[in-house]
Amino acid sequence: MGKRFDYSDHNFQITLKYLSEVVSLEGTTWGQHKESDLGFDETNLALCSLDLFLAGTETTSTTLQWALIYLIKNPDI
C-alpha cells in the first residue's frame, strides 16, 4: 500500500520544495522557451490516440473472450 507522509516530514518537505520550483520555473521566460523538436505536436497526438484506441480494443476483445468462455463452461447462467 501507499506510504503516508506527515506534513512536517523532511522528505515530504523536500519533494514539495522541488515541485514548487518546477511549477514556478514553468511560468518564467526560461520555462516558456520551447525547442521545435520537443513537446507535444500533432504527430504525437495521433500516436497517443492510436495507442488509446488499440489498448481499448484489446481490452474489450479479451473481456468478451473471457465472458464467452465463462458462459460456455457455465450454461446455467
Number of domains the chain contains: 1
In sequence order, which residues have a C-beta less than 8 Å from that of residue 5 and are 6 or more positions away? 11, 12
Distance CA 61, CA 47 (A): 21
Residue 45, domain member (yes or no) = yes
Distance CA 10, CA 19 (A): 14
2 backbone φψ class: left, alpha, beta (φ>0; ψ -120 to 50): beta
What is the pTM assigned to this prediction? Answer: 0.33
pLDDT of 9: 84
Residue 71, domain member (yes or no) = yes
Residue 32, domain member (yes or no) = no
Range of the domain at 77: 41-77
Residue 9, domain member (yes or no) = no
Residue 56, domain member (yes or no) = yes
pLDDT of 68: 93
The number of angstroms, rounded, from the C-alpha of 49 to the middle of its chain's C-alpha atoms is 13
Tell me which residues of the chain have a pLDDT lower than 50.
none
